[in-house]
Chain A
Amino acid sequence: MTTRVTLRRTLIACSALTLALVAAIVAMSLLGSEPLPARASLCAIFSAGTSPCGLSRDQYDILFQLRLPRILLAAAVGGSLATAGASYQALLRNPLAEPYLLGVSNGAAVGTMVALVFFGTLEWSRPVLAFGGALIATLAVYQLARGRAGTTPERLILAGVIVTTFLSSVIVFVTTLMDATRIRSFNFWLLGDLSGPTHTLLPIVIAISVVGTVALTLNARSLNLLMLGERDAFDLGVEVGRVRILVFVVASLLVGSSVAASGSVGYVGLVVPHLVRLSLGSDNRISIPAAALGGALFVIVADTVARTVIAPRELPVGAITALIGAPLFIYLLKRV
């Protein structure tokens, strides 16, 4: 029966994506401006770092101190942003909804900057204020986008543009409060950058991405109905207000922690859920967990491109994701 087929498809898709993700984590850790020997590195990774397996001290440090943490961060950020995008899209009935385009990422960026300027020594203040900024931006966009006739996709995107540009001005203003030496690394971070030192943040970002994805997946059936219309969902028994608050809070947490660690990596929440729905259908019970895994995969690969294509120099990963995402946005806009 259909349910069994869907369940089987979910399991197959998620298992395949998990395998691909593990393979990507391992493979991408070998690539970079300093290529690492494959066999020795694999041996070291699978011994969980307990044995160097013939890697030199420098190689060992590159693998475990630089590459793997960065790849894991890329996975958590990608998973978080894709999950947030997929749930915004379902809740707002809009295939174009995406944290970056809605201004939510910029809200989180302002929060992070405020934390850096005023509480620079307290690292944990960054994700907390980023969450606050993301939540405020979400609520602002939502209120702006609600017209008398409900929310149209175009109206939502316009509201996103307004919030984004407003917050960009705030960012410029806060930047002037910083000393000149930090501004350049700041601009790089704003575009989405995974190279920053994030050792304390890494476990937080990973934990939030996993918990957030599970929380949203557990509401996937409600989101399936919300995707068809708020009033329909209400009639069929969905506690619309509760689900809306849950999505806003959890998605803001996901975006906030990602931005605090890596800046605004754009379009992940647009590209990945779209590809997932295209290949697996619109059922959120499949598409949310699949988007989380797919998002992790997408950002790992994009970041590897970003750090290898002009090595030893690096591009911000946000530049790579935007190069792929912007044309897809235009394509989707034509179809909505």
Chain B
Amino acid sequence: MLEARDVTIKYDERVAVANVSLRLAAGEITAIIGPNGAGKSTLLRALNGQVRRSSGAVLLDGEPIEKLSRRAIGRRIAVVAQEAELRFPVTVLEFVLGGRFAWASNAGWGWETEKDLSVAGAVLRETELTDLSGRLMNELSGGERQRAVLARALATEAAHLLLDEPTANLDLSHQSTLLSLVRNRCDQHQAAALVVTHDINLAAQFADQIVLMKHGQVLDAGPPQAVLTPELLREVFEITVLVDAHPVTSAPRVTPVHGRRS
């Protein structure tokens, strides 16, 4: 289990995250939403041990994260971020096998084991990339590429997935495919996922819990129906919204009422 306790992160004197506590439950998707600069991505990076905390604790399966080696963390937490520009030719399979690094008996050298290859094969099938496995990453479309990034995260077999705006720049169908894959992982492997997103409606559809953040603080957290209210959303985004039920899924549906800033 991955847990943040009273985490505060300061950059010089600016407080990016203030006293945030958060617990990722197995089998659940938690979505963090909030305006730009609310501290969402910083919190996600702190959960992975990358951003230094000013105070508070991050516990991975009960242990303080700074006590664990990077490889031990890499086997238990996988991150999907906006991928960096690739400057060297790498095939999709090589890229996905990168997710097996933390499992290698010798981290620096050695070849992938049969287990590594079978895991990679399985996630390639899961993400429907098997036919593209020999292609170069640079030759893929944006949607295929982001699927490969997710495939690499799934190949780590980590029980915790941290996704930082995974659907940014993806078209509607790819957005839905990507989050369905995350949903499957949570349902079938009891993984816990944290998704930072700007897409409130996508969060409402896929998330079990929604955390609303502003100015580094958590304003509210809970199931979508409880959190996605016009009052709270107005407080967070400073804009008037209409919230009704999605006619098909009955999840909350948020529509901004343009021109009516509050």
Contacts and interface: CB of A to CB of B under 8 A. Distances in A.
Interface in B76-134: 77-79, 81, 83-84, 86-90, 93-95, 97-99, 101-102, 104, 107-114, 116-117
Contacts of A58: none
B90 A282 contact: yes
B90 A228 contact: yes
A221 interface: yes
Interface of A: 1-3, 6-7, 90, 93-95, 153, 217-222, 224-225, 227-229, 231-232, 234-240, 277, 281-283, 285, 336
B165 to A, nearest CB: 14
Contacts of A224: 94, 98
B110 A231 contact: no
Contact of A236 (B88, B101, B117): B101
18 contacts: A1-B114, A2-B93, A2-B97, A93-B84, A93-B87, A219-B109, A220-B108, A221-B101, A221-B108, A221-B109, A227-B88, A228-B88, A231-B50, A235-B48, A236-B99, A237-B70, A237-B75, A285-B111
A228 B90 CA distance: 9
B104 A238 contact: no
Interface hub of A228, A240, A282 (most chain B Cβ within 10 A): A228
B112 A225 contact: no
A239 B81 contact: no
Nearest to A246: B108
A6 B111 contact: yes
A225 B109 contact: no
B90 A235 contact: no
B156 A236 contact: yes
Interface of B: 48, 50, 69-71, 73-75, 77-79, 81, 83-84, 86-90, 93-95, 97-99, 101-102, 104, 107-114, 116-117, 152, 156
Given A2-B117, A228-B98, A237-B71, A95 B87 contact: yes
A7 B90 CA distance: 17
B81 A235 contact: yes
Contact of A1 (B70, B88, B117): B117
A15 to B, nearest CB: 17
Contact of B111 (A7, A225, A336): A7
A221 B111 CA distance: 9
Nearest to A7: B111
Contacts of A240: 70
Interface hub of B77, B108, B110, B117 (most chain A Cβ within 10 A): B108
Contact of B109 (A90, A218, A227, A232): A218
B98 A235 contact: no
Nearest to B98: A225
B73 A237 contact: yes
B108 A218 contact: yes
Nearest to A220: B109
A234 B90 contact: no
A258 to B, nearest CB: 24
Contacts of B78: 235
Nearest to A243: B108
Contact of B88 (A234, A277, A285): A277
B104 to A, nearest CB: 7
A237 B95 contact: no
Contact of A237 (B74, B111, B113): B74
Given A3-B112, A228-B95, A231-B81, A236 B87 contact: no
Contact of B74 (A90, A94, A235): A235
B70 A239 contact: yes
A221 B107 contact: yes
B83 A229 contact: yes
B107 A222 contact: yes
Given A234-B50, A237-B75, A153 B102 contact: no
B111 A238 contact: no
Given A236-B102, A237-B101, A222 B108 contact: yes
Interface hub of A218, A222, A238, A281 (most chain B Cβ within 10 A): A238
B89 A282 contact: yes
Nearest to A1: B117
Contacts of B110: 221
